[in-house]
Amino acid sequence: MRFRRPIFSRAPTHLLIDLRSGRYEIRHAGHPPAAHFRAGSGTWELLNQAGGPALGIVEEAGYHPVKGTLCVGDALMMYTDGLVENPGRDLDLGIDRLLGDATALVAQTGLAQGAQRLVNSADAQEDDDRSLMLIWRD
């Protein structure tokens, strides 16, 4: 495939959230999927349907939102690929590991102190970005 012009891409995540009702709408371009923690079951749900290619790669790409509601005790987790990718390892395994660590952390210490501990515990490359945002509804 040849390109006639330089390619510049961006990989944003767009989140709209109503802080009163907890309703949200999320879509992302080129990022790993966000995850919704459900306090009632103690489980994480990947929001895979919200994704699309990085901006600037595919003309007229569609970015369909995932809609949901954060109940009291629920959380949304968004993170960069530097937390979950490692050379020679499937990206899905990295995501599974992050969600497993997040589940264990919630059981041990709760969500309030969780984000920094998850970033510190990530099995990531030192030269890659490692960012995580955890939005918790209390």
C-beta of residue 34 within 8 angstroms of C-beta of residue 47: yes
79 in Cβ contact with 37 (< 8 Å):
no
Q: Which long-range contacts (CB under 8 A, 24 or more apart) does 21-24 make?
A: 21/69, 22/69, 22/70, 22/71, 22/72, 22/74, 22/137, 23/67, 23/68, 23/69, 23/70, 24/67, 24/68, 24/69, 24/70, 24/76
Query: Hey, what are 135's tokens?
Result: 């939005």
Taken in order of first residue, the domains within the chain and their CATH numbers are 13-136 (3.60.40.10)
Residue 110 pLDDT: 72
What φ, ψ does residue 110 adopt, rounded to 5°? 85, 175
pLDDT at 72: 95
Token pair for residue 117? 């501990």
pLDDT in tens, the chain (138 residues): 454 555 555 677 889 999 999 999 998 877 789 999 999 999 999 998 767 777 777 777 777 889 999 999 999 999 888 888 877 888 889 899 999 989 888 777 777 677 777 777 766 556 667 788 889 898
Q: Residues 138, 29, 86, CA angle at the centre, nearest 5°?
A: 85
| Res 8: pLDDT | 57
- What residue type is assigned to position 138 of the chain? D
What is the pLDDT, as a whole number, of residue 1?
46
Dihedral sign of CA atoms 67, 55, 93, 72 in order:
negative
Note the pTM of the prediction, 2 decimals: 0.81
At 82 the pLDDT is: 81
* Residue 43, pLDDT score: 93
pLDDT score recorded for residue 68: 97
